[in-house]
């Protein structure tokens, strides 16, 4: 009961946007590690989806969650656990940044994140920042960025949670978390394991066979400790170890493939925060190790040390600024590079937020990456949030933002042997967007609508092209992407039943602008794997101990080839549904959930020639001790 009430509360809070009360200077004491996006990102579109983490995708990875709850398209190279990369607002896999406690976890070698390696359990809080975030957080955030944080409200006492799920195709998920705290210390440890065989029925030509070589195991450990030094200072430690062992799902009809991939990563972070009436200080230091091994052969590893700090200063009641720096020293250990590379990057940034009128907030940001090996552009941004019209129970807000973004050339692009091109430039982009939000609150229902329009342009996009006997990357591509995103959310309380509907609809038109070869027929054509239409709807009904959810998503057709003349992957729609029953015992809250994925047994593909499973079932048991 208590959990569902909290959920309801959070549902109503989830749509809160940037118009913050600036006279509460003391940041929420839980935000020690970092949540830099909320204050200085006026004009941008951001969504806090933390309250949805506990839904039917709670044991899934970030890819399944984002596909179901946002208009972001994920390219999934097969069933659960297989490589998934992001396509945010029509941009490429490396054009979105993923942050864990402020650390960009995009691979240093590939410059992107495999979302199947990011389990949802690694986040206590999750936010999505649409559009360019370079001026705030640096490289890669061109189409958007995902922010995961392990911050949570401090507790007094001890809390233990355990969950176990079993599902079709050999799915097995276990999670144990242990939290304890007092006024001075907070500790939290989480262990998780997900294994799946993925031997689902696959259709191939006129027959059916059992999918081969698609099994995966993901397991890891998270820990967070926070020490409250005194009323104004905190020290926090975060650690995350994740290991993935999986078979790489082959194309349909490839019965003899035995490719495997092993991934390991360690992320450690120490943070310090100090608050005072007009000045806040944050310092951080971290270490990240990423390692990949393909077919028990070649390894691809990078490690980096990071250090950073920022200071927030409230000059006037209406004006606040931040200055900060981020240092990173990267070391590569990749078999395919001629030598091991060491690189140091320094980021300097300054942010400003100004509240000139009660209904208007302006933000300006500037960030510059300094590195010897390549050039990164200066990335400024400017944004505004305006309360257009406020009535007794209605509010209309307008937002607008313009910003510059960039992406550093990856280590693979520069140093891969053969073909790597160390003279590559950064990819660069400009984007602007605007949007209108309408909120209507009545006695027992509320409705929120958001309509946004964006335009972004990326140039010097790096592509590997054959040059004689070798393939080599060049800054050759230019893409313009524009689109409309519509979001609706309705919450209704009727006869002791709570209804919630969330819907997303997006139209994205990502078009190639530059030709590369003679008679290039790719100019003016839509990019491959960027569907024009994308939609999802989620319905949740809560009545007493029961919670029923139904979710559907539609993905439009996708071209597989740059001139749009090749094969097309058909549009598809998938339905998922789950029902939960909750019961409170003396000291334990228990929840039982039964979920059906792909309810209609749809035969579809996300990526060409990689089969997706038909209908599958999952049964889960979730136990929480009431803190003692």
Q: What angle do CA 187, 193, 196 make, to 5 degrees?
A: 160
Of positions 180, 245, 375, 563, contacts another protein by CB under 8 A? 563
Smallest Cα–Cα separation from 410: which of 451, 365, 463? 463
Q: Is residue 567 part of the contact set for another protein (CB under 8 A)?
A: yes
- Judged by beta carbon, residue 292 or residue 595, the one nearer another protein is 292
Nearer to another protein, 1 or 567 (CB): 567
**Can you say how many angstroms the Cα of residue 604 is from the centroid of all Cα atoms in its chain?**
24
- Closer CB to another protein, residue 467 or residue 573? 467
Is 177 near another protein (CB under 8 A)?
A: no
How would you label 514-538 residue by residue, b for 16+ Cβ within 10 Å and e otherwise?
Answer: eeeeeeeebeebbbbbbbbebbbbb
Q: Which residue from 92, 220, 239, 250 is in contact with another protein, where contact means CB under 8 A?
A: 250
- Alpha carbon distances (Å) from 400 to 43, 363, 432, 454, 556: 5, 10, 7, 10, 28
Q: How far is the CB of 514 from another protein (least distance, A)?
A: 11
Binding span for another protein by CB under 8 A among 318-326, 483-491, 562-570, 597-605: 562-570
- For another protein, the binding residue among 520, 532, 589, 603 (CB under 8 A) is 520
Based on the shown chain and the rule CB under 8 A, indicate whether residue 2 belongs to the binding site for another protein. Answer: no
Whether the Cβ atoms of residue 18 and residue 361 lie closer than 8 Å to each other: yes
Q: Which is nearer to another protein, 24 or 469 (CB)?
A: 469
* Site for another protein, residues 445 to 504, rule: CB under 8 A: 463, 465-470, 472
Asked whether 430 and 420 are in contact (CB, 8 A), the reply is: no
Long-range contacts of 438-445, Cβ-Cβ distance < 8 Å, separation of 24 or more: 438/394, 438/395, 438/396, 438/397, 439/15, 439/394, 439/395, 439/396, 439/397, 440/393, 440/394, 441/393, 441/394, 442/393, 444/492, 444/493, 444/494, 445/490, 445/491, 445/492, 445/493, 445/494
Tell me the C-alpha distance between 146 and 97, whole Å.
Answer: 6
Residue whose CB is less far from another protein, 230 or 469 = 469
Applying CB under 8 A, does 615 fall inside the site for another protein? no
User: What does residue 5 show for φ and ψ, rounded to 5 degrees?
Assistant: -65, -40
Of 26 and 567, nearer to another protein (C-beta) is 567
Which window, 89-97, 117-125, 213-221, 244-252, contacts another protein (CB under 8 A)? 244-252
- DSSP strand pairing (342-357 vs 360-370): antiparallel
Among 297, 339, 391, 392, binds another protein (CB under 8 A): 297
Q: Does the footprint of another protein cover residue 236 (CB under 8 A)?
A: no
Q: Which residue's CB is nearer to another protein, number 353 or number 512?
A: 512
Minimum distance from residue 612 beta carbon to another protein (Å): 15
Torsion sign over Cα 126, 132, 136, 139: positive
Q: Does 118 contact another protein by CB under 8 A?
A: no
CB of 523 to another protein, least distance (A): 10
418 upstream amide cis, omega within 30 of 0: yes
Say whether residue 511 binds another protein (CB under 8 A). Answer: no
- What is the size of the binding site for another protein (CB under 8 A)? 37
Which CB sits closer to another protein, 334 or 364? 334
Cβ proximity to another protein: between 234 and 559 the closer is 559
Query: Could you tell me the smallest distance in angstroms from the CB atom of residue 469 to another protein?
Result: 5
Q: Quick check: 514 binds another protein (CB under 8 A)? A: no
Residues at the interface with another protein (CB under 8 A): 205, 250-257, 295, 297, 418-419, 463, 465-470, 472, 516-522, 560-563, 565-567, 608-609
């Amino acid at each position: 009961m208590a959990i569902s009430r909290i959920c309801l509360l959070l549902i109503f809070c989830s749509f809160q946007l940037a118009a913050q009360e600036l006279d509460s200077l003391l940041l929420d004491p839980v935000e020690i590690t970092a949540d830099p996006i909320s204050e200085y990102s006026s004009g941008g579109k951001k969504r806090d989806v933390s309250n949805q983490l506990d839904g039917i995708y709670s044991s899934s990875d970030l890819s399944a969650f984002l596909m179901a709850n946002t208009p972001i398209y994920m390219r999934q190279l097969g069933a659960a656990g297989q490589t998934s990369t992001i396509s945010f607002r029509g941009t490429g896999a490396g054009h979105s940044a993923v942050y864990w406690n402020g650390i960009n976890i995009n691979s240093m070698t590939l410059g992107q994140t495999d979302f199947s390696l990011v389990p949802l359990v690694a986040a206590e809080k999750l936010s999505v920042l649409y559009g360019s975030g370079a001026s705030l957080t640096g490289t890669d955030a061109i189409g958007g960025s995902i922010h995961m944080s392990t911050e949570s409200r401090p507790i007094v006492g001890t809390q233990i949670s355990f969950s176990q799920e079993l599902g079709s195709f050999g799915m097995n998920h276990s999670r144990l978390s242990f939290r304890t705290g007092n006024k001075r210390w907070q500790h939290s440890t989480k262990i998780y394991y997900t294994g799946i065989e993925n031997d689902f029925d696959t259709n191939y030509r006129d027959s059916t066979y059992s999918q081969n070589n698609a099994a995966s195991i993901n397991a890891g450990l998270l820990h967070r400790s926070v020490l409250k030094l005194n009323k104004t200072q905190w020290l926090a430690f975060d650690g995350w170890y994740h290991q993935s062992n999986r078979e790489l799902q082959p194309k349909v009809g490839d019965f003899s493939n035995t490719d495997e991939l092993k991934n390991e990563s360690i992320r450690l972070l120490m943070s310090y925060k100090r608050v005072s009436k007009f000045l806040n200080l944050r310092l951080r230091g971290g270490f990240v190790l990423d390692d990949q091994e393909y077919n028990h052969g070649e390894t691809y590893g990078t490690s980096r040390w990071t250090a950073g700090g920022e200071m927030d200063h409230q000059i006037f009641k209406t004006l606040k600024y931040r200055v900060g720096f981020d240092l990173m020293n990267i070391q590569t250990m990749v078999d395919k590079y001629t030598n091991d590379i060491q690189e140091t990057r320094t980021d300097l940034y300054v942010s400003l937020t100004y509240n000139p009128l009660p209904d208007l907030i302006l933000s300006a940001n500037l960030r510059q990456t300094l590195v010897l090996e390549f050039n990164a552009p200066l990335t400024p941004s400017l944004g505004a949030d305006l309360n257009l019209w406020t009535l007794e129970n209605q509010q209309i807000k307008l937002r607008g933002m313009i910003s510059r973004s960039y992406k550093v050339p990856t280590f693979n692009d520069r140093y891969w042997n053969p073909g790597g091109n160390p003279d590559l430039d950064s990819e660069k982009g400009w984007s602007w967007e605007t949007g209108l939000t309408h909120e209507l609150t009545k006695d027992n229902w509320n409705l929120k609508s958001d309509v946004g329009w964006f335009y972004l342009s990326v140039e010097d996009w790096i592509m590997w092209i054959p040059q004689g006997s070798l393939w080599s990357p060049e800054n050759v591509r230019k893409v313009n992407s524009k689109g409309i995103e519509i979001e609706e959310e309705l919450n209704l309380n009727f006869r002791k039943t709570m209804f919630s509907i969330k819907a997303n609809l997006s139209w994205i038109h990502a078009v190639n602008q530059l030709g590369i070869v003679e008679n290039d027929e790719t100019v003016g054509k839509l990019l491959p794997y960027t569907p024009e239409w994308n939609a999802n709807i989620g319905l949740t009904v809560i009545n007493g101990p029961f919670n029923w959810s139904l979710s559907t998503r539609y993905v439009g057709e996708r071209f597989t080839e740059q001139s749009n003349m090749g094969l097309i992957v058909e549009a598809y729609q998938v339905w998922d549904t789950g029902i939960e029953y909750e019961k409170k015992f003396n000291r334990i809250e228990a929840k039982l959930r039964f979920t059906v994925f792909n309810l209609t047994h749809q035969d579809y593909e996300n990526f060409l020639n990689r089969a997706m499973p038909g209908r599958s079932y999952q049964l889960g048991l979730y136990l929480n001790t009431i803190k003692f």
